[in-house]
Amino acid sequence: MKVGFAVSDITPELGIYLTGYGHPERLATSVHLPLNATAMVLEDGDTITAVLGIDWCFVDWTLTQAIRKGIFDATGIPESNILLCCSHTHSAPHTTYMRTLGRTAVDPENLGVAYVHKSIPAIADAVKRAKDNLQECAVGFGASKTKTGISRRGTDYHGRVSGFLGDPDMLYDDNMTVARFLSKGTREDLGIFIHCSAHNTAMGITREISSDWCGIMKDRVEDTYKVPVIFINGAIGDVGPRTNVYRDYSNAKEDCALTGFAAGAGDGAKSATEVGLRAATDALRTLEGIRDFRANLPVRVHVGELRLPQALSMSVEAAKAKLLEFDAKTADTVEPDTVYQIAKAIAAEEGKEPQPELIIEQTLVAFGAVALVPFPFEVFSIFSLRLRKYGPYEYTLLASNTNGRNAYLPDRGSFAMGGYEPECLKTVSTYVVTPDAGDKAVIQSLKALREMKG
């Protein structure tokens, strides 16, 4: 197997809108850490693939297609063999055409979309340089537990999910997987691969452009090995950064007593540094524990599709009734009530062909002991753990926010408990994946993994 790595700086100009929190006035005034696109190209003589770690919050399917075409034009790597894995930093531009209802006033001129198109040559150049630098390699794999992330679905004593408080006793994916690539001939380092799971939100709601905690981690690991570091974020849907910021979400009116450490937005550079260095510590110790390096490994790609059940979040009849509850002037305000916007969008579905399935292209990539299973969602931990348990590869790794953006993929229990993530789905599309969609996604992905491995 051959591998090549390269990095391009894709930091935008100041003044651009920063996504993630829906604040229209949040325009970048400075740079905390640059945004990078890190390319890892893998080739075994029969198959070639490009995996990119991009310091963006997300990238929608339309823009994914544009970027992959740019990479193909520059390198000849098939578009379907390319993974665009976003780190989910909330201190980057709004890299999507999509708007979240209740936050429709953000980035009105689509400057984030223009920035994506402007960044395509730099992203494609990183892949081209990685491909041009392909070398026969030996790879060492390692795994450990990490305290980078924590469940962010802490509850009050009623069992209600309120805020984004960290709860170490709730289920979350605390695994870290690394790979160290050496030149087969010289044994010099070529690149580092790191995978773990946590929302990239430790910076919080600042006006600083930043790759957030994962940028701190990558820089610290690069200090040791002097080679590019690619980071792939895993099951982030219900996992936040483990910060030391204390929050009080208590609400006497709702009989809610809820305090603890934040697993949502941190308090700037201090939070990003503490989480990033903790992740770097775990990664470095795992990397230094690797003793076995394997050469002549296979590279495999499987292109298929996921077919996930979905339904309108309320019936057309219920939506029309809901509209009658609002005064007509609501529609003329700068940002109408979110429920009003949802009802209006669903009422407009009357007479249209139903869409009972969400069909998604899925590209699986495997190199040696690792298989990457991408989803255009912020996926919940139970699905990552299930893929790890039943996947045919030694390390079956879920990649959130890859090749598209469809908000969250909660599990059945989280749909039942409610909270921000299931409610957020209603603001992204008139159709919402059903509570069993994640289970079906895992079943279909496992079948594809077995087909790929043979």
Interatomic CA distance for residues 373 and 446, integer angstroms? 9
Alpha-carbon 190 to chain mean position: 25
pLDDT for position 102 = 75
Question: Are 215 and 223 within 8 A, CB to CB?
Answer: no
Does residue 318 belong to any structural domain of this protein? no
Does residue 333 belong to any structural domain of this protein? no
Does residue 271 belong to any structural domain of this protein? yes
pLDDT for position 330 = 58
User: What does each C-alpha distance from 368 to 25, 252, 296 come to in angstroms?
Assistant: 46, 55, 9
Does residue 192 belong to any structural domain of this protein? yes
Does residue 133 belong to any structural domain of this protein? yes
Residue with tokens 């039942």: 416
Does residue 326 belong to any structural domain of this protein? no
The pairing of beta strand 378-379 with beta strand 408-409:
parallel
Ranges in the chain, pLDDT < 70: 327-335
pLDDT for position 442 = 99
Q: pLDDT (tens digit, 9 = 90+) per residue, 403-444?
A: 999 999 999 999 999 999 999 999 999 999 999 999 999 999
pTM, to two decimals: 0.96
Does residue 319 belong to any structural domain of this protein? no
pLDDT for position 266 = 96
pLDDT for position 249 = 81
Q: pLDDT (tens digit, 9 = 90+) per residue, 166-223?
A: 999 999 999 999 999 999 999 999 999 999 999 999 999 999 999 999 999 999 999 9
The number of domains in the chain is 1
Interatomic CA distance for residues 267 and 304, integer angstroms? 41
Does residue 346 belong to any structural domain of this protein? no
Phi, psi of 384, rounded to the nearest 5 degrees: -65, -45
Domain limits for position 228: 2-300+359-453
pLDDT for position 97 = 94
Q: Which two tokens stand for residue 47?
A: 């198959």
